């Protein structure tokens, strides 16, 4: 490496800081490009860090800070239009005359072992792989249980375990017929379920029509419009708050049943009472993501 005296080094660094490339500086000072590159090595990282810090500080003064982005389903223009149209059509619905008669339903999957990616561990440098610094978890949470349920303003269904993969025949014979139909016998009852394939299959739609079930049309990819999603979230929090985690699927389902029955009805009433606000939030976002999306 060619040795540069102090004045040449300062000249080179000044040119680089002014925006000249390493090649341009090398030609101007009649030295090799590798010489300039080695000259810059101790400074390049610090300059990058300093530059990034300046950008962050400038953004912070304007109210912008760095956060982890939320993960949401991909909404196409067609999805947004359908969601906004639905919200506009139901914006004038009232609680007493409309939403209190809707039976909201859904399926949800609960893992045997819940892994919280937000957890933090204090450790020293080099202790990353120490046993006490590792959060061990089996693949896919060690298995879990899928459940189905409904909520209304005055009650809820039993929590039903969904063994294996849900299909239309299983949905009709083991869920709708024994568990949903009795709830839908009430005057003015209206059934809500999303557009999952078992829900929209011909076997399912024919069964609902044959039993005179009034089904609430539902836009695709709209969990933020369904208050039962937040009931599942409440159920998950109650399950994770247990002192002893269920060791197997059978006990997991039993624990879910107990915690499901323990959710106060007032909590479910508040969720259903949020429907007008959910519709307005959907309109305000022009069919895009809303704060009600978990």
- Of residues 32 and 286, which shows the higher confidence score? 286
**Is residue 192's pLDDT more than 90?**
yes
Q: Report pLDDT digits (tens) over 11-25.
A: 888 787 777 888 888
- The neighbour count for residue 202, using CB atoms within 10 Å, is 8
| Residue whose pair of structure tokens reads 């969601």 in the numeric block | 83
Provide the H-helix boundaries in 5-142.
6-17, 22-29, 33-61, 77-90
**Adjacent-strand bridge partners of 150:** 105
Backbone angles phi, psi at 25, to 5 degrees: -65, -40
74 pLDDT exceeds 90? Answer: no
What the block records as the tokens of 62 is 């304007």
Is the pLDDT assigned to residue 284 strictly greater than 90?
A: yes
Q: Is the pLDDT of residue 44 over 70?
A: no
pLDDT by residue (tens digit) across 194-234?
Answer: 999 999 999 999 999 999 999 999 999 999 999 999 999 99
Question: Which residue has tokens 């007493």?
Answer: 96
Instruction: Assess contact for 259 and 232: CB atoms under 8 A.
Output: no
- Indicate the average pLDDT of the chain: 87
Q: At what angle do helices 228-240 and 249-262 cross, to 10 degrees?
A: 120
Find out whether 161 and 178 touch, Cβ atoms under 8 Å: no
Q: Per mean pLDDT, which range of 69-83, 84-98, 182-196, 276-290 is the poorest?
A: 69-83
Measured between alpha carbons, how far apart are the two ends of the chain, in Å? 58
**pLDDT for the residue 27:** 87
- Cα(189)–Cα(99) distance, integer angstroms: 10
Beta-bridged to residue 190, according to DSSP, are 102
pLDDT in tens, 140-184: 445 899 999 999 999 999 999 998 889 999 999 999 999 999 999
**DSSP count for the chain of H helices, then E strands:** 11, 4
Segment 265-286 mean pLDDT:
97
Beta strands 144-151 and 102-111: pairing type?
antiparallel
pLDDT tops 70 at residue 135: no
What structural domains and CATH numbers belong to the chain? 6-61 (1.10.10), 77-284 (3.30.420.10)
* Sequence-ordered alpha helix ranges (H) in 135-244: 168-170, 197-200, 202-210, 228-240
Spatial distance between the Cα atoms of 104 and 155, rounded to a whole number of angstroms: 11
Stretch 75-93: mean pLDDT, rounded? 97
DSSP state for residue 21 in the 8-state scheme: -
């Amino acid at each position: 490496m060619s040795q540069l005296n102090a004045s040449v080094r300062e000249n080179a660094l000044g040119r680089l800081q002014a925006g000249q490339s390493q090649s341009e500086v090398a030609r101007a000072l009649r030295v090799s490009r590798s010489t300039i590159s080695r000259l810059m090595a101790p400074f390049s990282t610090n300059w990058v860090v300093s530059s990034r810090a300046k950008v962050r500080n400038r953004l912070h003064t304007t109210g912008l800070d760095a956060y982890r982005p939320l993960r949401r389903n991909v909404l196409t223009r067609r999805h947004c239009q359908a969601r906004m149209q639905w919200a506009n059509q139901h914006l004038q619905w009232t609680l007493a005359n409309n939403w209190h008669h809707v039976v909201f339903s859904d399926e949800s999957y609960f893992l045997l072992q819940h892994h919280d990616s937000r957890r933090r561990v204090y450790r020293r440098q080099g202790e990353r792989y120490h046993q006490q610094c590792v959060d061990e978890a089996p693949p896919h949470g060690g298995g879990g249980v899928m459940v189905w349920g409904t909520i209304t303003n005055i009650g809820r269904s039993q929590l039903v375990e969904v063994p294996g993969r849900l299909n239309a025949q299983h949905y009709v014979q083991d869920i709708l017929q024994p568990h949903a139909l009795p709830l839908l016998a009430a005057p003015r009852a209206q059934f809500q379920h999303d557009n999952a394939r078992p829900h929209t299959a011909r076997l399912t739609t024919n069964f609902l029509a044959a039993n005179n079930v009034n089904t609430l049309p539902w836009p695709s990819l709209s969990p933020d419009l369904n208050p039962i999603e937040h009931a599942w979230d409440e159920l998950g929090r109650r399950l994770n708050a247990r002192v002893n985690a269920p060791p197997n699927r059978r006990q997991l389902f039993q624990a879910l049943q107990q915690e499901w029955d323990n959710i106060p009805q007032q909590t479910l009433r508040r969720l259903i009472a949020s429907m007008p606000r959910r519709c307005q939030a959907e309109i305000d976002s022009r069919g895009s993501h809303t704060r009600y999306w978990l």
